Amino acid sequence: MSACALCSSSEKVSVYEVMPSSSFPNEITLCQNCQDQIDRKTAVQPDYWHFLADAMWSEEPAVQVLAWRMLNRLKSESWAADLLDMLYLDDELSAWAKAVGDEDEPVPVTVHKDSLGNVLNHGDSVVLTKTLDVKGSSINARIGTVVKNIRLVDDNAEQIEGKIDGQLIVILTKYVKKQNG
């Protein structure tokens, strides 16, 4: 795997399956940042997606489909609406692109924020801003403890998961601060 088929990043790339399956090849390489926004694991950052002006012209049908879906989500941005007007998909590709219902009202995204209002993402490191007693455990997580590689709790913006002393625990976002760098 070399680079993301959308943004060309070579960091944290993996094979991504564009659903639903179609008569076209539906596996492409995507970076984690593109995947998380496409799959609604993190909030869509409109300024991030300007590379779609190039990606939408890809010869790979799966890339064209994802470009259409993301431009459609971003159509309130004038640049995205302009690109969407230029993008042509034949009937079969258009049906594939619309098969997931992205043209309808957007589904609200659960955005996790730390105690200072910074957006948290999967894999971030955070610092505890309060000493916490872990329920059902003898662990006492002290203020200043760094928790690396957090996971976001999908349906609860106030909770993240992380390991402290080798034990996976749920931590309230109001007691953490995103670590820089």
pLDDT of 145 higher than 60: yes
User: Which domains, from first to last, does the chain contain?
Assistant: 13-98 (no CATH), 126-178 (2.30.30.40)
Looking at residues 111-123, what average pLDDT do you find? 89
> Which strands form 167-172's sheet, in the order they lie side by side?
151-152, 159-164, 167-172
Q: Report CA dihedral (100, 44, 87, 18) to the nearest 10 degrees.
A: -40
CA distances from 95 to 21, 22, 82, 132 (A): 12, 10, 21, 51
Length reported for the chain: 181
If one compares 101 and 13, the residue with the highest pLDDT of the two is: 13
Q: pLDDT tens-digit profile of 29-75?
A: 999 999 999 998 888 899 999 999 999 999 999 999 999 999 999 99
What's the whole-number average pLDDT of the chain?
88
Q: Which of 4-8, 72-76, 135-139 has the lowest mean pLDDT?
A: 135-139
Residue 125 in this model has a pLDDT that exceeds 60: yes
Under 8 Å between Cβ of 46 and 74: yes
Average pLDDT (98-127) is 78
Whether the upstream peptide bond of residue 106 has omega within 30° of 0, thus cis, is no
